[in-house]
Amino acid sequence: MKHLPLLCIAALMAARPVLAQDTLSGPDAFENIADESQRSAAMFTEIGKVLTNPRCLNCHPVGNSPTQGDDMHPHSPPVVRGDADFGAPGMTCNTCHGPQNVTLTSGEGSIPGHEPWSLAPVSMGWVGKSLAEICTQIKDPERNGGRDLEAIYEHMATDGLVGWGWDPGAGRSPAPGSQDVLGQLTRAWIDTGAVCPG
């Protein structure tokens, strides 16, 4: 009996803690916010849990190279975005990144893959920016690839590279929630005025 507390602590430490960052609430969780603008901004903040996850940020840098892993270390080997966000001649992204994830023969880790595979343009870079800045940028057709809000919804809800965030290959943790919930949140955010957090 007197060993029980210690065992409990050991069990708690072994289980991976579920952090708020790991979960994604759907639009229903925001119904109690009466003010529509506040509700909209709160839902974008929830969307932000996905946008600021390393699975997305590693490909949405503001600089010249992608990053890797949950600690977002520099891409190894070093690669640059090049003129088309697709690498330098002879070292394009698809030299190594195939149409799907490839588990390494060692059994540990994988080379991520999807067709297409390239860096998001600089204008869509998110690393180091506040959620308010990211939100304003995502709504701006001058910077978001000429998209209106419906096209942003389509991208969040159906784009394959976004979907890769929940199927990132062996050795990588997925983005919080699911692409389906991300789509529902984006729909509800737009329908409530697409308000950015302050």
Contact positions vs ligand HEC (CB under 6 A): 50-51, 54-56, 58-60, 66, 68-69, 75, 77, 79, 81, 86-87, 91, 93, 95-97, 109, 111-112, 117-120, 124, 137-138, 144-145, 147, 152, 155-156, 161-162, 164-165, 172, 175
- Closest approach of Cβ 166 to ligand HEC, in Å? 7
Alpha-carbon distance values, 162 to 6, 41, 187 (Å):
42, 21, 16
- Closest approach of Cβ 26 to ligand HEC, in Å? 16
- Closest approach of Cβ 65 to ligand HEC, in Å? 7
Burial class, 19, CB count within 10 angstroms (exposed 0-12 / middle 13-18 / buried 19+): exposed
Of 15 and 148, nearer to ligand HEC (C-beta) is 148
Place of tokens 């994604």: 24
> What is the spatial distance between Cα 164 and Cα 54, in angstroms, rounded to a whole number?
12
- Closest approach of Cβ 155 to ligand HEC, in Å? 5
Of 33 and 96, nearer to ligand HEC (C-beta) is 96
> What is the spatial distance between Cα 34 and Cα 139, in angstroms, rounded to a whole number?
24
**Cβ atoms of residues 27 and 185 within 8 Å:** yes
